[in-house]
């Protein structure tokens, strides 16, 4: 009985996820001029290529797509590297009060992002970082690093301290221990942390609309919101086609690296 209820619950969750996806795809197929104003449950045409072309080229999703890809890959990788170094310092290095440093870094995930927007906007305006790619990349790294630090630190605490002690007896420096021992042993956890941060940066809207306005700087979620207002007269099919474009990278990352992600989550949750 319990297993049947669990299966029914899982099937319901799957349906709740698949129904909006089905409606998105079906209505993205509809010609923009033939949209009636109500969602279609069955395809009424095959204008997906035209809608994708309008969203990618004429509405500028393509440029923002490539910019967001840059932000997600570079900022996600840098955030994971910084988090791994911070976790190594807190767990392995003989720093005073490691618990204090852990909570100081982890506190970056505890406060709502909205409370930082006003001072961050003023700081960026004064420092000429507003509406620049460098400015967005800096804030994305700072925003993503605390949670990555939490994940990596959890895995690093499970590693036997005898490994570090043996390496130190052989004369290895802390830098060598980090790069030659800890990084290879934590490769799955680092990969899982990168996937989390890639998705977080890719899906960001709040920082994108607050700290940028130019099409060549705006991330893709901000461009999708602009598409919603600029092409509202064309009907939802063009906007839904843009949403399809935006959803592809995170879906591909999880599908291609699902094995690495599952191994990393398992290692972190031990």
Show me where the domains of the chain are located: 2-268
pTM of the model: 0.85
pLDDT at 198 over 90: yes
Evaluate whether the domain defined by 2-268 bears CATH number 1.10.645.10. Answer: no
* Cβ-Cβ contacts under 8 Å for 127 (sequence gap 6 or more): 135
Write the pLDDT tens digit of every residue in 26-67: 877 778 666 666 777 777 777 778 878 877 876 678 888 899
Q: Encoding tokens for residue 68?
A: 């967001």
Write the pLDDT tens digit of every residue in 71-121: 999 999 999 999 999 999 999 888 889 889 999 988 888 888 888 888 888
Report the candidate in 262, 240, 249, 214 with the shortest Cα–Cα distance to residue 54. 240
**pLDDT in the model for residue 232:** 56
**pLDDT in the model for residue 233:** 54
Q: Which run of H or of E encompasses 158?
A: none
């Amino acid at each position: 009985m319990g297993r049947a209820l669990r299966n029914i619950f899982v099937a319901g969750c799957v349906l709740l996820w698949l129904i909006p996806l089905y409606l998105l795809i079906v209505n993205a197929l509809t010609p923009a001029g033939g949209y009636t104003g109500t969602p279609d449950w069955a395809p009424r045409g095959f204008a997906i290529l035209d809608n994708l072309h309008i969203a990618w080229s004429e509405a500028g999703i393509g440029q923002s797509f490539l910019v967001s890809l840059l932000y997600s890959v570079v900022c996600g990788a840098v955030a994971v590297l910084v988090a791994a170094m911070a976790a190594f310092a807190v767990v392995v290095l003989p720093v005073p009060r490691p618990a204090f440093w852990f909570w100081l870094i982890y506190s970056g995930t505890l406060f709502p992002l909205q409370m930082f927007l006003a001072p961050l906007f003023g700081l960026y305006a004064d420092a000429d970082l507003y509406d620049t790619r460098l400015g967005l990349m800096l804030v994305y790294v700072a925003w993503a690093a605390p949670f990555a630090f939490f994940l990596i630190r959890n895995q690093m605490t499970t590693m036997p301290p005898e490994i570090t002690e043996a390496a130190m007896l052989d004369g290895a420096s802390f830098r060598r221990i980090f790069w030659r021992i800890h990084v290879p042993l934590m490769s799955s956890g680092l990969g899982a942390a990168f996937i989390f941060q890639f998705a977080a940066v890719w899906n960001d809207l709040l920082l994108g609309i607050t700290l940028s306005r130019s099409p060549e700087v705006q991330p893709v979620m901000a461009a999708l919101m602009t598409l919603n207002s600029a092409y509202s007269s064309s009907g939802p099919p063009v906007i839904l086609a843009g949403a399809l474009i935006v959803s592809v990278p995170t879906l591909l990352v999880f599908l291609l690296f699902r094995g690495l992600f599952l191994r990393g989550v398992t290692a972190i949750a031990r």
